[in-house]
A = this chain, B = another copy of it.
């Protein structure tokens, strides 16, 4: 097994064999259900990879890495209620499979469980890690609130958008790497560099997501192509297109995004046509490249063994190149 596979197996075992509780079943079954839908385990992998930069004892970060994954899935459970999402990773969301009350309460207990898993940390670093996690968790909520606010706003700038995805997505990737650094007993400036790398990676990751939604390979990408367009989501692609559009294109785009086109295939086709005419794909790819290259540059400069950095960098490159 490659080092990456070793970490993945260890994380799957840590997460798969954990009991989140049993009674009442309505409270605990949805947690296991959602955790078993098998996401990328991106955040805990980043934590483990970051600890491994500094020590062979990367197993010590498994529980707090698990905590981050539980927290992430808690946000998915609650966001799916707020977004009225019927599906998550191709399966019914918790509020659809059970009901809204269950999704609220089961999510609440997940957040408590995330904090419980953090108690796996050594007591000497526990307070500072929790302080940073609390800040991160609050920011993730702020990002979700901004995301909902943007739906109702006519004008959203690209800077607003970047700030929103930074809060909603990037800070947790940054925290995951920072956590790995603390667990590996790295010095404060190193830990801050890890956070910065994760934050940039997160921005690249989200814009890549926006790109895949429109230009992904339907056979590989797990979700419906054009899903963001159909739900009038103000993505990087849309906001950049609005910025570069001439008067006619701008009118067409805003009109399409206020549901003037009832035929969904045609709506996706027409919006994609404007994106193509403006070269949005290439611009977004440049943006993704910019953020990933920043993250990679920061990781290269870390004072850690080169072979360890290579493991982390191979993971980062996989994320950059991902097609799903």
Residues of chain A touching chain B, judged by Cβ–Cβ distance below 8 Å, are 21, 23-24, 26-27, 78, 81-82, 101, 104-105, 107-109, 111-113, 115-116, 119, 123, 126-127, 130-131, 134, 137-138, 141-142, 144-146, 148-149
Task: Give every chain B residue within 8 A of A127 (Cβ-Cβ).
Answer: 119, 123, 126
Asked whether, in the complex, the Cβ of A119 is within 8 Å of the Cβ of B113, the reply is no
The complex places the Cα of A115 from the Cα of B119 at a distance, in Å, of: 13
CB atoms of A130 and B112 under 8 A apart: no
Could you tell me the distance between the alpha carbons of A108 and B24 in the complex, rounded to whole angstroms? Answer: 21
Chain B residues, Cβ within 8 Å of A81: 101, 104
Main secondary structure of the interface of A (DSSP, over half): helix
Q: What is the minimal beta-carbon distance from A200 to any residue of chain B, in angstroms?
A: 23
A24-B142, A82-B105, A105-B144 given; 18 more Cβ-contact pairs under 8 Å: A21-B138, A21-B142, A24-B145, A24-B149, A27-B145, A81-B101, A108-B108, A108-B141, A109-B137, A109-B138, A111-B111, A112-B137, A112-B138, A115-B115, A115-B134, A116-B134, A119-B130, A119-B134
Q: Which 3 pairs of residues, A with B, have the shortest CB-CB distance?
A: A116-B134, A109-B141, A82-B101
Least CB distance from A95 to B in Å reads 11
Give Cα A146 to B24, complex, Å: 7
Give the distance in Å from the alpha carbon of A146 to the alpha carbon of B141 in the complex: 28
In the complex, chain B residues whose CB is within 8 Å of the CB of A113: 134, 138
Selected A-B contacts with CB under 8 Å, 12 pairs: A24-B145, A78-B105, A78-B108, A81-B104, A82-B104, A82-B105, A101-B148, A104-B104, A107-B108, A111-B112, A112-B138, A123-B126
